[in-house]
């Protein structure tokens, strides 16, 4: 059960990598855990798992949460916690309620971190948890600021923010402290910055490095996301055979993961479905560039199969063009 939770909680990282903010698009404001705690008004207790109690397992579970405009919390990522404790913590936090937060005088969704404690962890565990909370809040604030700056074309600010994020990662002990996801995200972000500056060789090196983080799991969503970034890079360089190969491999992983995620995990299916539609759209454009109308139409039919997962902007851009193209050629 925990493996499924852990796998799904990583999807938010993939979404950050695949879909950077559009210019002018407002991301949810990130607030500190201390500030969020001041707004907490309803906190159902977590059920201490019997197996954990029997094994005298105790400690803290850190979760990243979205708090919507009404104050309802929903877990979007597991940050740290024992496998036997994490599912119970997630179930509890999904029932938390906060006094609504405001931005510019209006209720707004925010992102923060929540901690669930099981048993009576000692001071050492408390210090470790506090340090991790500080790291997570600072790192992701910098990452998101860099992403917004990059979307606006402000490469200098994006680089400054990513350099600060790198400084935070350096003393974290590389992968030993369990920051593989943050290492991967930073590497992808650096690749995107190099891409935006048209430093394609540098971008390729970053993306190749990002592939190394999840070699033990060939179907990891991070592998699919990295392949998608490489496909985008090669398409921009007009290396269409390489672009098609990487995008096709990315889609294959996303489809496999889409099929194994139950309908009850609508957020995960949304991430996968949107990624499949986006990659199929790119494959259709590559086919057009290679004058392969049959393949372009086939890929467009894939886009239409997953169009319900697209956001409004992509839907308007993709669907009308694909309806025309897919209707011109039949298998």
Give residue 177's pLDDT. 56
Supply 61's token pair: 């579970």
Nearest alpha carbon to residue 215 among 200, 230, 226, 205: 226
Global pTM value: 0.85
C-beta atoms surrounding 242 within 10 Å:
14
Chain length of the chain: 331
Which H or E run includes 272? helix 266-289
Rounded Cα–Cα distance for residues 153 and 73 (Å): 33
Helix residue ranges, H only, 85-176: 86-93, 123-151, 155-169
Q: What is the DSSP string of 155-168?
A: HHHHHHHHHHHHHH
Q: How confident is the model at residue 176 (pLDDT cuts 50, 70, 90)?
A: very low
- According to DSSP, the residues that pair with 119 across neighbouring strands are none
Asked if 263 and 242 touch (Cβ cutoff 8 Å), the reply is: no
Domain 219-331 falls in which CATH fold? 1.25.40
Supply 247's token pair: 């995008």
Domain spanning 1-120: CATH superfamily:
TonB (3.30.2420.10)
pLDDT tens readout for residues 15-27: 555 555 444 445 6
Q: How confident is the model at residue 1 (pLDDT cuts 50, 70, 90)?
A: very low
Q: How confident is the model at residue 32 (pLDDT cuts 50, 70, 90)?
A: very high
| CA atoms within 13 A of residue 211's CA, in its CB half-sphere | 15
Nearest alpha carbon to residue 59 among 112, 3, 132, 8: 132
Give the pairing type, strands 73-80 and 59-67: antiparallel
Asked if 60 and 47 touch (Cβ cutoff 8 Å), the reply is: no
Asked if 178 and 199 touch (Cβ cutoff 8 Å), the reply is: no
Tell me if residue 61 falls in helix, strand or coil. strand
Q: How confident is the model at residue 183 (pLDDT cuts 50, 70, 90)?
A: very high
Q: Return the residue matching tokens 């997570």.
A: 136
Helix residue ranges, H only, 40-94: 50-54, 86-93
Domain regions of the chain by residue span:
1-120, 122-215, 219-331
Whether 1-120 and 219-331 share one fold: the answer is no
pLDDT tens readout for residues 74-130: 988 889 899 999 999 999 999 999 999 998 889 999 999 999 999 988 787 789 999
Tell me if residue 82 falls in helix, strand or coil. coil
| pLDDT tops 60 at residue 195 | yes
Buried b (16+ CB within 10 A) or exposed e, 121-152: eeeeeeeebeebbebbbbbbbbbbbbbbbbbe
């Amino acid at each position: 059960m925990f493996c499924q939770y852990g796998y799904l909680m990583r999807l938010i990282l993939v979404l950050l990598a695949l879909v950077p903010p559009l210019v002018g698009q407002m991301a949810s404001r990130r607030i500190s855990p201390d500030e969020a705690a001041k707004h907490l008004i309803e906190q159902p207790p977590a059920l201490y798992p019997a197996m954990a109690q029997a094994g005298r397992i105790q400690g803290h579970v850190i979760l990243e949460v979205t708090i919507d405009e009404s104050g309802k919390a929903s877990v979007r990522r597991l940050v740290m916690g024992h496998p036997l404790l994490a599912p119970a913590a997630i179930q509890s936090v999904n029932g938390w309620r906060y006094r609504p937060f405001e931005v510019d005088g209006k209720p707004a969704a925010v992102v923060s971190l929540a901690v669930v404690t099981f048993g009576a962890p000692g001071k050492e565990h408390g210090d470790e948890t506090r340090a991790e909370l500080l790291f997570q809040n600072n790192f992701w604030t910098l990452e998101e600021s860099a992403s917004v700056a990059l979307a606006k074309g402000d490469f200098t600010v994006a680089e400054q923010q990513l350099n600060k994020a790198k400084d935070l990662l350096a003393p974290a002990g590389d992968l030993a402290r369990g920051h593989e996801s943050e290492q991967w995200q930073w590497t992808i972000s650096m690749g995107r910055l190099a891409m935006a500056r048209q430093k394609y060789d540098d971008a390729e090196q970053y993306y190749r490095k990002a592939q190394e983080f999840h070699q033990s799991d060939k179907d990891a969503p991070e592998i699919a996301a990295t392949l998608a970034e490489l496909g985008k890079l090669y398409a921009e360089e007009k290396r269409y055979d390489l672009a098609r190969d990487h995008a096709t491999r990315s889609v294959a992983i996303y489809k496999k993961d889409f099929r194994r995620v139950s309908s009850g995990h609508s957020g995960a299916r949304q991430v996968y479905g949107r990624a499949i539609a986006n990659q199929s759209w790119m494959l259709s454009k590559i086919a057009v560039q290679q004058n392969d109308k049959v393949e372009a139409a086939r890929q467009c039919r894939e886009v239409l199969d997953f169009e319900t997962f697209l956001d409004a902007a992509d839907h308007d851009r993709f669907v009308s063009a694909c309806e025309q193209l897919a209707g011109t050629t039949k298998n």
